[in-house]
Amino acid sequence: MANLADVSSQVSTRAAESAPPKKRVLSDTWYSVLLITPAMIFIFIFALFPLGYAINVSLRYADLTSPQGISDYVGLENYRFALNDNIFWASVQRTLTFGVAAVAIEMVLGIAIAFLLNEIKWLKGLARSLFILPLAASPVAVGLIWRYMYHPEFGVYNGILASLGLPEQNWLGSTALAMPSVIIFDVWQWTPFVALIVLAGLQALPKEPFEAARLDKASTWRILRTLTFPMLAPVLTLVFVLRAIDAVRLYDAVFSLTQGGPGQATEVVTYYLYRLGLRFFRLDQSSAMSLLFLYAVVVFTALLMRRFMRNIAERARRA
C-alpha cells in the first residue's frame, strides 16, 4: 500500500515537472502594488487628505461665525498668532507637565507590577484579567464615575479621608489638586497597559543568561542592571513612546473630569484646540496650532524611534 502511494506521488511529480509552466497573471512588483493599494487608499482618505485640508485651512482666514466662513489666504498669519498666543503656550506647558508626571509614574508602577506578576505562582490568570479591566473600559464612562468618586461631598475619596480624620479636599475644584487628580485617573487607567507589555517582554526573555548569572552568584541588582533591563530596553522604549504620544493627546479624561477647569488649571493643548475650533469656531487658528503640535509630536517620536531602530540594528549585527 505504501509502495503504491510512493509510485503515485512520483508519477504526479513527474507530470507536474513535464507540464508547461503556468503563465503568471501579475509580476511580483504589480502583485506587491496590488496588496499595498487598499492600505494606501485608506491612509490617503483618513490621514493625508485631512492633513492637507488642515494645512489649507491654517493658511486661510476661517471664522465660521462670519458669513464668508473659510475665505482668503492669509499666509502664515495664523502660525504667527499661534506662536505668540500665551494661552496656547500655557496649555503646552500643562500638557508637558501632565505627560512627564503621568508617563513617569506609569512606567515605574507598570514595570514593578510586571515583575510582581512574573513572579507570582498562583492565580496568575485572574490577576492578569483584573489588570486588563481599566483598559477595557471607555475613558469617558470611567471618567464620569471618577468624577463622582472625586466629589467633595459624596465622593469615596473624601469619605476615606474623613474616616482617617484628615481634612476633606476639593479634588477637581482646586487649582492645586485638579491636575494631580487627572494624573491619578490616567495612571489608574494606563498603568496596566505598561505592565502587560513589560510582562510579555519579561516572559519572552531567554532563561540561559539568568541561570548562568545565578550560578556565578551575581546579585539580584546586578542581574537587573546588566541583564534584565538591557534585554528589555526595546520593549521599554516602545511602551514609553506609545504612552508618551497618548499622554500628550489627552482629551477624554479632561473632558469628563474637569472640562479644562477650574479656570484653566487642566486645560491641555487638545482641549484648548477643541475650545478654540469648535466653541469659538476659529478653525484657522486651531488648525495652525494643531499642526504645530503635530510637528512637535512627530519630531519627538522620530528621534526616539531613530534611536530605537539603531539599537535594534546594532543588536541584530552583534547576533
Work out which of 57, 61, 62, 79 binds another protein, going by CB under 8 A: 79
In 185-248, beta strands by DSSP E: none
Please tell me whether residue 308 binds another protein under the rule CB under 8 A.
Answer: no
Size of the site for another protein (CB under 8 A): 11
Choose the binding region for another protein from 30-38, 186-194, 237-245, 297-305 (rule: CB under 8 A): 297-305
> Rounded to 10 degrees, what is the CA torsion of 236, 237, 243, 249?
180
Task: Answer yes or no whether residue 307 interacts with another protein by CB under 8 A.
Answer: no
CB-CB contact of 64 with 58 (8 Å): no
Q: How far is Cα 235 from Cα 246, in angstroms, rounded to an integer?
A: 17
How many Cβ atoms sit within 10 Å of the Cβ of residue 131? 19
- Could you say whether residue 43 binds another protein (CB under 8 A)? no
Q: What is the Cα–Cα distance from 268 to 94, expressed in whole angstroms?
A: 6
Q: Which is nearer to another protein, 148 or 295 (CB)?
A: 295
- Three-state secondary structure call for residue 258: coil
**Minimum separation from the CB atom of position 303 to another protein (A):** 10
204 vs 298, beta carbon nearer another protein: 298
Binding-site member from 7, 33, 55, 83 for another protein (CB under 8 A): 83
Q: How far is the CB of 76 from another protein (least distance, A)?
A: 5
Three-class SS state of 63: strand
Instruction: Return the residue matching grid coordinates 503621568.
Output: 102
Q: Report the distance separating Cα 167 and Cα 159, nearest Å.
A: 10
Instruction: Tell me the window of 30-38, 188-196, 252-260, 294-302 that interacts with another protein (CB under 8 A).
Output: 294-302
Q: Which one of 17-25, 92-100, 169-177, 298-306 is the stretch in contact with another protein (CB under 8 A)?
A: 298-306
Question: Which residues sit at the interface with another protein, rule CB under 8 A?
Answer: 75-76, 79-80, 83-84, 292, 295, 298-299, 302
